[in-house]
Amino acid sequence: MHLFRLDASIRVEGSVSRALADTAEQAWRAEHHDAVVTRRDLGLDPLPADLWAPAVRASMDPSAPPAPEATALMEQLSAELIDADAYIFAVPLYNWGLPAQIKIWLDMILLNPRFKTGGDLPIAGRPAVLALSRGGGYGPGAPKEGWDHAGPYLRRMLGEVLGLDVHVAEAELTLADLNPAMAPLRGLAADLLKSGHENAAAHGRRVAELLRTA
């Protein structure tokens, strides 16, 4: 078995998205002891931001200069997905949106004609855990309800565009222990974090079971 894990947090120590992904990975590896794990850490090693535009121009305009570096990176990133049997994506919410490094990664993947919308997707139906963390509160009735522009986007991109079977584990109010203004929410934050880890473990086991029965 082959697991692909992607992390996007710029933090290591104290990163909740990484911690949720660790929990999911541990549960998955408990069922697949000898699995190969490929890691892509966009938080510590972000992709070059200047490769996508020339690659798009080269793909659309025959007179545009070729973009061999971008093409090679697109092929490498695509192969990491295609070669895997299951996936863990760990993504925090930054400034109410998607981390820039995740958007670049997705844009590079979608350069590959094999991932063209409406085609036969090479990873369709494969199981994935999406570990999400949010520093504030964005649920029904919260002052910032509707301001999470990362989670819904990722669910759609991973599930509908790339065709994965996505299982979500999430935690919010993760900044409650650091922000004095959020002190009254610390009990709720602890409960949500516990629930997030429980879901991450359950999803890790579920993804492992789906591979055993595939």
Could you tell me the sign of the dihedral formed by the alpha carbons of 43, 29, 156, 118, in that order? Answer: positive
- In angstroms, the CA 164 to CA 124 distance is 5
- Give how many domains the chain has, as a whole number: 1
- pLDDT cut 90: percent of the chain above it: 91
What end-to-end distance do the CA atoms of the chain give, in Å?
12
pLDDT digits (tens, 9 = 90+) for 175-195: 999 999 999 999 999 999 999
Domain of residue 165, CATH code: 3.40.50.360
**For residue 213, what pLDDT is reported?**
74
Task: Kindly report the pTM of this predicted structure.
Answer: 0.95
**Per-residue pLDDT at 52 exceeds 70:** yes
Question: Reduced to 3 states, what is the DSSP secondary structure of residue 1?
Answer: coil
**For residue 214, what pLDDT is reported?**
65
- In angstroms, the CA 72 to CA 75 distance is 5
Whole-angstrom CA distances from 157 to 1, 35, 86, 117, 146 are: 24, 26, 16, 11, 18
52: containing domain: 2-213
- In angstroms, the CA 66 to CA 37 distance is 33
